[in-house]
Amino acid sequence: MPRRFLKRIMPDHRTMREHPHLQRFGQRLAEPKLWHLNRRSIAFGLAVGLFVAFMPILGQMFVAAALAIIVRVNLPIAVMAVWVTNPVTMGPLYFLCYQIGAGLLAMPIGDHVFTMSWEWFSTVFLAIWQPLILGCFVLGTAAAVIGILFVRLCWRIMVLRSWAKRRRESKDPSP
């Protein structure tokens, strides 16, 4: 079952609650649904994390954790899923989001060169923010739906294999 594998890689909820930096959240982290390892909690935790991963915001892990607490889905999975966007994948991913958003808004795709300056943010970013945000929302939603379907399908396949294995073992008359 996938539950055994996930129990091995996930942090223990008691340890997390007793962590000095996390104690300020108090009883919110004691909610059992945040730590449940069932198909629904993991699928929707992954969906929350993937959706937030596509949003061009700071503190994605904190946002994913807050959303996981609000909708009561698996907290560690939601936080880990955010790392789909990392320093290596962020540039190409957001460029793809921009292209999709520009295509949906029927806007021409400009040749914008990124520079870390106030001038770039005040001129170029103001021209591209609408297609970027729309593309991020569309791809984030698509990734969340695909994540849910992927978890549910994989979970179902693993359960069916487990049932077949038990069936074979029960029919085996070996001593």
Per-residue pLDDT tens over the stretch 10-59: 666 666 666 666 666 666 666 767 777 788 899 999 999 999 999 999 88
Is the CB of residue 107 less than 8 Å from the CB of residue 131?
yes
pTM value is 0.80
Predicted confidence at residue 1, as pLDDT, reads 46
Q: How do residues 61-72 score in pLDDT, each as one tens digit?
A: 989 988 998 898
Output DSSP code: residue 46.
H
Q: What is the pLDDT of residues 122-142, one digit of tens each?
A: 777 777 889 999 999 999 999
Quickly tell me which residue has 């914008």 as its tokens: 112
Task: Name the average pLDDT for the chain.
Answer: 83
Q: pLDDT band at 145, cuts 50/70/90? A: very high
Q: Where are the alpha helices (DSSP H) in 82-175?
A: 90-104, 118-171
Q: What is the mean pLDDT of residues 85-103?
A: 90
Please answer whether residues 43 and 147 qualify as being in contact, where contact means their C-beta atoms are separated by less than 8 angstroms: yes
Residue 61: HSE in the Cβ half-sphere, 13 Å Cα cutoff: 5
